[in-house]
């Protein structure tokens, strides 16, 4: 789901330790919905590991702030979506069952950074993006 047509996007993934594979990553950031409604924004987290991962107490920070509720887990090879607004996400994506929602803040359409921190407050994934021009695509996600 990469409808970006503009050149000049800077997309970087930083891991806290170079050379070590991250088991839980930020796999998609839907930061510019075509409706312009910030309640439709979401971030997808992917567990690339072969075992389920308990992410209760983990946090997203940066342009948005969200704390994963206790008991939140991601199946082996599975995803969890963190939605700006749970009701809006559910209505727009009725086939997605594994999601949480209700963050504070808003994702920028031009430049931002999202950090995923574990319960020990260690950054396990970080994604930054930048566009020198205002996003004018129908919808933007990375």
What are the structural domain ranges in the chain?
16-133
118 phi, psi to nearest 5 deg? -80, -175
**Lowest mean pLDDT across 11-25, 87-101, 110-124:** 11-25
How wide is the angle at C-alpha 17 spanned by C-alphas 14 and 19, nearest 5°? 90
Q: How far apart are CA 51 and CA 132, in angstroms?
A: 40
Asked if residues 135 and 32 have their Cβ atoms less than 8 Å apart, the reply is: yes
Candidates 3.90.226.10, 3.40.50.300, 2.60.40.1260, 3.30.70.141; CATH matching 16-133:
2.60.40.1260
Output the pLDDT for position 89: 96
pLDDT in tens, 46-82: 999 999 999 999 999 998 999 999 999 999 999 999 9
The predicted model scores a pTM of 0.80
């Amino acid at each position: 789901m990469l409808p970006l047509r503009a050149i000049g996007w800077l997309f970087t993934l930083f891991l806290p330790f170079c050379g070590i594979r991250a088991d839980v990553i930020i796999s998609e950031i839907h930061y510019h919905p075509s409706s312009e409604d910030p309640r439709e924004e979401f971030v997808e987290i992917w567990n690339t590991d072969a075992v389920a991962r308990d992410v209760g107490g983990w946090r997203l920070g940066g342009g948005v702030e969200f704390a994963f509720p206790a008991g939140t887990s991601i199946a082996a090879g599975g995803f969890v979506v963190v939605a700006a607004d749970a009701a809006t996400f559910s209505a727009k994506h009725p086939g997605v069952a594994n999601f949480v929602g209700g963050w504070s803040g808003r994702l920028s359409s031009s430049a931002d950074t999202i950090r995923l921190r574990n319960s020990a407050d260690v950054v396990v994934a970080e994604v930054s993006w930048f566009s020198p021009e205002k996003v004018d695509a129908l919808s933007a996600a990375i």
